[in-house]
Structure 1
Amino acid sequence: QNPSQGTLFRATQFLTEELPIRLAHRVKELDELPHNLSSMPSIIKVKNWYAQSFEELVSFAKPKFSPEVKKRLLEDPGEITELPENKPNLAVNSTPGTPRKSVSLRHRYYAHVEDMDWPPEVRVYNEKFTKLIEEIKKRHDP
């Protein structure tokens, strides 16, 4: 599958809203560990990573697009007649002889965006966000 720059942008919008919430929950959970575990240097280090990632995500520059591009990104495409094919979830370990499981279509996030020639600023925004996510991933997977 080759998603369009518009579809990638919609995915970045989802992540910019969802990831800070999840990171904030992790920080709160680490603060509330029992038996004074939250004062351990390793826990503090991880908590600071989460807090730094949270800050980077919420302060990431908002996109500046023309009114036409904004309209195309936000308009309702109407009825979607065909969703992309369901692929096996490679992250789920399967035992020999059992088929791999696929994610149910009704449990997937998918934001259909009308195909068009996307202006360069959409691609640039997607690339900057991808770099940010890669840096966050490096921090959390040392």
Structure 2
Amino acid sequence: MQLTNYTDYALRTLLYLGSLSDHERAQVKDIAGAYQISFNHLQKIVHDLGKKGLLHTTRGKNGGITLAVSPTTVNLGELVRELEVFDLVECFNEDGQCLIRCSCKLKSVLHQAKTAFLAVLDQYTLDDLLENKQELYSLFMGKQNTD
């Protein structure tokens, strides 16, 4: 199973912002630069995370992005379910036209695998990923200082 870049970048954004001190703000360009990812793509993700209530976005001279929620409240399983489409194979989609759909056992096996994958993510929050917050912060800031 592979997450889309969208979900990957959303998780990375939350990690970056979670590593900051309480009143510190980041810019999309800082996050994109730290990870060497597309600024334009990340800008759309940040906008979406803001609409979902996960981020505060402030425009203007002193603007920036901060987490809008406590990292303890961001459940990874819930977030991934919200960001991903889990139609792993055609038969997961109601409009699927697979010839063997009515007697195939693959759908059941893949459904079990998806359920197990999400069950593991359900056990963790963003806070769990930030146990090494200071180390992450140092890595992010070190990357920006070398560019």
TM-score by length of 2: 0.28
Q: From the CA coordinates, give the structure whose radius of gyration is larger.
A: 1
Considering fraction of residues, name the structure with more strand: 2
RCO comparison, higher one (Cα < 8 Å, 6+): 1
